[in-house]
Amino acid sequence: MDRVEEMLGEVRRTFKGGRTRGVEWRKAQLQALLNLLAENEDKIIEALRQDLGKHPVEAYRDEVGVVKKSATNAFRCVEKWMAPQKGRIPLVFFPARGAVVSEPLGVVLIFASWNFPISLALDPVIGAISAGNTVVLKPSDLAPKCSSFLANTIPLYLDPEAIKVVEGGKDISEQLLQLKWDKIFFTGSPQVARLIMSAAAKHLTPVTLELGGKCPTILDTLSNSSDLQVAVKRIVGGKWGPCNGQACIGIDYVLVETQFAPVLIELLKKFIKRFYGENLKTLENLARIVNKHHFERVHNLLKDPNVAATIVYGGSVDEENMVIEPTILLNPPLDAEIMTEEIFGPLLPIITLNTIEESIQFINSRPKPLAIYAFTKNDSLKEKILQETSSGSLTFNDAIIQFVADTLPFGGVGQSGFGRYHGKFSFDTFSHEKAVLHRSFLIELEPRYPPWNDFKMDFVKLAYDFDYVGLVLLLLGLRGLFRRNRRQ
Each as own residue / partner, the long-range contacts of residues 9-16 (CB below 8 Å, 24 or more positions apart, any chain) are 10/161, 10/164, 11/107, 11/134, 11/135, 11/136, 11/161, 11/162, 11/163, 11/164, 12/106, 12/107, 12/134, 14/134, 14/159, 14/161, 14/162, 15/104, 15/106, 15/107, 15/133, 15/134, 15/162
Phi and psi, residue 297, nearest 5°: -60, -50
Would you please indicate which residues are annotated as catalytic (active-site) residues? 210, 248
Q: What is the DSSP letter of 257?
A: E
| 318 bridge partner residues | 323
* 108 torsion bin: left (phi>0), alpha (psi -120 to 50), beta (else): beta
Helix (H) or strand (E) holding 299: helix 292-303
CA dist 34 and 16 (Å) reads 26
Extended strands (E) in 216-259 = 216-219, 253-257
Whether 138 contacts 112, CB under 8 Å = yes
Helix (H) or strand (E) holding 362: helix 358-364
User: Which residues does 267 contact at the CB level (< 8 Å), separation at least 6?
Assistant: 228, 229, 232
CA dist 25 and 162 (Å) reads 11
